[in-house]
Amino acid sequence: MKIAFAAGEVFPYAKTGGLGDVAGALPVELSKRGHEVKVFMPKYNTFGETEFGLRYNWDLGEIPVRVDGQIRPVHVHTATLPGSKVEIYFVDCPHYFHRFRVYTNDPDEDERFILFSKGIIEILQRLKWTPDIIHCNDWQTGLIPVLLKENYAWDKMFDKTATVLSIHNVAYQGIFPKNAFAKAEIKQEHFMPGGLGEFFGNINFLKTGILASDVINTVSETYKLELKTPEFGCGLEQFLVSRENDFYGILNGIDYDVWNPKTDRLIPHNYSPAGMGGKIKNKKYLAGRLNLPFDENVPLIGIISRLVDQKGFDLAAYGINQLMELNAQWVILGSGDEKYESLFYDLAKKYPSKVSTYLGYNNELSHLIEAGADIFLMPSRFEPCGLNQLYSLKYGTVPVVRKTGGLADTILDWNESLAAGSETGTGFSFNEYSSMNMADALKRALDAFKNKSVWNKIQKNGMKQNFSWGRSAEKYSDLYKKALLKRSGK
Ligand code: ADP
């Protein structure tokens, strides 16, 4: 199949969260399975053209794309995704994308992604490359299905092209004032109550994608079920229920070429289930880097996260004194809301031999933490899939998670496995969103840590798990077939 894969961020060029990882890895796996894939992302000025060997595409030249009545010149650069033959097309429009940030709160944020969406379709036309599938991701590409089926319906090349929309996080919907559809030249009727995009007097790009694409999926089975409820659906639950028959859950994979303690070049000591000696050496190295006193018998709890409400750190804020009484050390790597940044910053100042905080984004440190920590904490309020718990499993860093979304689908609680008569648990989890329950799960983990043979068993159970992209890519292939059937009216 020919697949055009569209995303607002693609690793390694730009990444603000899990979508970047998915967009960098899934297309490569799809291509290994014989699909012809072209990836599209904006050319931000957060990365340089020479840095990744981008080539200017002279054949395409300058492409005029109209947004809000203005013609904007678009140029295209191409590269191949690292370690693959997959071509990536960078939609270059300095007026919109040279902002030193990937996403913005600027008043023309809607225009930026209208241009991106139209730009992709215009490029496909000029390439004369008809995709079987356009795979859209999140609100940034949510308008493509309706643009394709209405604005570009005159172009017969797209007659059979089906659209898939993946929802990576329903909390980000792309809600804009009501003139956004006029800017995109999408029919005004879609802004009327009951229309594709209308949302409490505004325009909602994600809702538009949900209603206009052939099939929809999200990134875990449990999150799919949660999204159909008011608690998790963020106002879109009724639309997802209305598309229930076309709505699927496919767990993300992880890229074991990047995240594997046996081969990871960002950690000083490689290790594997057959030889775990490197893990403790990494812990010692990490403690040195963080200025924490090293003690083999004091568990090191790691956090790597965007510091936002979604990730559950109000639980830590609420029960912080109790957490500091635990016999453990903490390393926190993250950035986000001021209230959480100052919580962890102050904590490191108050408990310098117990807590180390790095505010900001640091890829190398994230690998070191996965390799050096004993426990990884992810108390998310909601979690579409979650990647860090999967990295943690591979690195023998035992996850403590809240049982929601992808965390519920990937971590089996050790005590629950014992109760069921097996020793297959891979971590510790808690159900109800409360500081008390989180502290309880952490205490169970700390108890288990004291018993080396139990701990070793839990670590190895996790390291044996396979969440490679291969499995997920098979499921996406099936999803594409369903989308094509839907498009052909069968
Ligand atoms: P989300 O997409 O909601 O942020 P995920 O767990 O799906 O959460 O993906 C987050 C990704 O971003 C992971 O690869 C994680 O390692 C990375 N990440 C998050 N914060 C940081 C940070 N401060 N430094 C380095 N990597 C980070």
Whether the CB-CB separation of 127 and 204 falls below 8 Å is answered with: no
Q: Quickly state the pLDDT bin for 317 (edges 50, 70, 90).
A: confident
Distance 254 CA to ligand 1 centre (A): 12
Whether the CB-CB separation of 357 and 344 falls below 8 Å is answered with: yes
Q: Which two tokens stand for residue 71?
A: 């013609």
Closest atom of ligand 1 to CA, residue 169? 3
Q: Give the residue from 251, 255, 225 showing the smallest Cα distance to 32.
A: 255
- The tens digit of pLDDT for each residue in 350-404 reads 999 999 999 999 999 999 999 999 999 999 999 999 999 999 999 999 999 999 9
Q: Give the residue from 287, 266, 192, 207 showing the smallest Cα distance to 240.
A: 207
Of all protein residues, whose CA lies closest to atom 17 belonging to ligand 1?
Answer: 17
| Pocket flag, ligand 1, residue 2 (CB < 6 Å) | no
Q: Quickly state the pLDDT bin for 316 (edges 50, 70, 90).
A: confident
> What's the rounded Cα separation, in Å, for the pair 459 and 370?
13
Asked if the model's pLDDT at residue 489 lies above 90, the reply is no
Which pTM does this prediction carry? 0.92
Contacts with 472 (C-beta within 8 Å, 6 or more apart), sequence order: 26, 29, 250, 251, 252, 253
């008569």: which residue's tokens? 421
Whether the CB-CB separation of 458 and 413 falls below 8 Å is answered with: no
Q: Could you tell me which CATH class the domain 277-467 is placed in?
A: alpha beta
| Pocket flag, ligand 1, residue 333 (CB < 6 Å) | yes
Query: Domain locations in the chain?
Result: 2-253+470-488, 277-467
Distance 111 CA to ligand 1 centre (A): 27
Q: Would the CATH topology of 2-253+470-488 be identical to that of 277-467?
A: yes
Q: Give the residue from 180, 186, 135 showing the smallest Cα distance to 26.
A: 135
Distance 489 CA to ligand 1 centre (A): 39
| Pocket flag, ligand 1, residue 334 (CB < 6 Å) | yes
- The tens digit of pLDDT for each residue in 109-166 reads 999 999 999 999 999 999 999 999 999 999 999 999 999 999 999 999 999 999 999 9
DSSP annotation of 146 reads H
State the pLDDT at residue 460: 98
Edge-to-edge strand ranges of the sheet holding 198-199: 175-176, 202-204, 198-199
| Pocket flag, ligand 1, residue 22 (CB < 6 Å) | no
Distance 456 CA to ligand 1 centre (A): 26
> What's the rounded Cα separation, in Å, for the pair 116 and 44?
11
CATH number of 2-253+470-488: 3.40.50.2000
